[in-house]
Amino acid sequence: MSIAEVLHILLRSAAVFIPVLLVALGLSLLATRGTTPDRLRRGRRWLLGAASVAVATAATAQLWVRTGTHGRLLTTLAVPFATYLVVLLLVAWLNRRVHDDPTRLKVRKGLIYLGVLVVAATLVHVWVIRQQVNYTMVLSVVGAGLALALHQVLLSVTGWVLLLIQRHYDVGHRVQIGDLKGDVSDIGIFHTTLVEIGNWVDADQSTGRLVTVPNSFVFTQPIYNYTRGFEYIWHEIRVLVTFESHWRKAQQILLDAAQEGVEPIADKFRTQIRHMARKYMILYEHITPIVYPRILDSGVELTLRYLTEPKRRRSTEAELTGKILDAFAEQPDIDFAYPTTRFYDASREGKATPPPSPPPSDAPQPT
């Protein structure tokens, strides 16, 4: 390709870019007129800029493709750069307009995936489809080899698609996958990232570690979702009192302590349960706290069962435990029980030593 041809292509490209940019500039000026808030005005500018770059790139790429191999090379270089610029502008607009972290993360990842798809489709169109070459046999052989060598990767991608369709969990949900528990921080094409909870830390609190799980687990591992559908879980606190204690009074103390924390959100409990009952066969007879008594070797065990948020399980338990300790301390007829050990002294507690028994009658008599 001669220098004159290159200059001719560049001039034709400029003839596409400049009118589009001028139109975008005019629309930006119109968007900034009146009493439009500054945030909305800036958002419109970002969107118009991204749209103008996308349209100009598409038109110019179509022009370059028609010029032959050199045009296809220019398209291969320009389309990824322009797509990156468009995605960058859209992400900047997204960061300004969307303040909800999970929503912003999902939309940003969707834009990145869309940009990759656009680049891949453009390159296939430029180098394969427009060449009118039959690549069926080549693609079949390559596809079979990739299916054998990358079957785990393909399973992970398929699992990702299944997660998008069935929505087993979302970013921010607390889940358990097999033996791993954590809060979902990212759902990628190949992996799901969890902020680990539990393990050596009690009461499902964070360990501070990130755990990456391949998406292929959806075909092999059970998924427990703490958040989806119903945002609360049942938790239990066990208290052991002596047999001599007034256990019914202790039972009422536990109920009163739990009821104080449940009453403000009882309506929300009932609303979510009604929604769950419409989609799943889940029916709760009791949503209020309840105490179950049980007789053990060391005393009477009282088990307080109540609803709480998964991420507040430890804090609510600590709060209720403090109330129970304070209330029991004020009651003289309620005492905590605990396992004890008793020592038996036969010389003092056992029976008296019996006299020796007489010898049998057929025994030889002493002379």
For residues 129 and 158, membership in a common domain is answered with no
- Residue of 196 and 41 predicted with greater confidence: 196
Question: Does the pLDDT value for residue 195 go beyond 50?
Answer: yes
Q: 206-215, 223-232, 290-299 — which is least confidently predicted?
A: 223-232
Give 92-134 as a DSSP string: HHHHHH---HHHHHHHHHHHHHHHHHHHHHHHHIIIIITTT--
Residue 220 or 1, more confident: 220
Q: Who has greater pLDDT, 113 or 139?
A: 113
365 domain residue, yes or no: no
Across 29-33, 91-95, 168-172, least confident range: 29-33
Average pLDDT, the chain: 75
Q: What average pLDDT does range 167-178 have in this prediction?
A: 88
What is the reported pLDDT for 158?
87
Residue with tokens 């191999």: 69
CATH code of the domain covering residue 175: 2.30.30.60
- Both 212 and 279 in one domain: the answer is no
Residue 7 forms part of a structural domain: yes
Q: How many domains does the chain have?
A: 3
pLDDT band at 361 (very low <50, low <70, confident <90, very high): low
45-99: per-residue pLDDT in tens? Answer: 656 666 666 666 666 666 555 555 556 666 677 777 777 777 777 777 777 777 7
Counting Cα atoms < 13 Å in the Cβ hemisphere of 4 gives 0
Residue written as token pair 């006299």: 355
Say if residue 360's pLDDT is above 70: no
**Does the pLDDT of residue 271 top 70, yes or no?**
yes
CATH number for the domain that contains residue 266? 3.30.70.100
Q: Tell me the residue length of the chain.
A: 367
Q: Are residues 90 and 38 in the same domain?
A: yes
The verdict on 302 and 323 lying in the same domain is yes
Residue 240: its pLDDT value, please? 94
- Residue-wise pLDDT for 248-257, tens only, equals 999 999 999 8
Query: Which 3 state secondary structure label does DSSP give 200?
Result: coil
Predicted confidence band of residue 330 (pLDDT cuts 50, 70, 90): very high
**What's the start-to-end Cα distance of the chain, in Å?**
145
Collapsing DSSP to helix, strand or coil, 304 comes out as strand
Q: Which of 133, 161, 186 is the last residue of a domain?
A: 133
pLDDT at 36 over 50: no
Q: Which two tokens stand for residue 171?
A: 């970013």
As a whole number of angstroms, the distance between CA 75 and CA 334 comes to 83
Q: Do the Cβ atoms of 334 and 300 come closer than 8 Å?
A: no
**pLDDT for res 260:** 81
Q: How far apart are CA 311 and CA 233, in angstroms?
A: 10
Higher-scoring residue by pLDDT: 119, 73: 119
The pLDDT score that the predictor gives to residue 67 is 55
Q: Do residues 9 and 119 both lie within one domain?
A: yes
Domain that holds residue 291: 233-329
- Evaluate whether residue 138 is within a structural domain: no
Same structural domain for residues 122 and 35?
Answer: yes
DSSP-assigned states of every residue in 137-195: HHHHHHHHHHHHHTHHHHHHHHHHHHHHHH-S--TT-EEEETTEEEEEEEE-SSEEEEE
- Min mean pLDDT across 24-28, 165-169, 280-284 is at 24-28
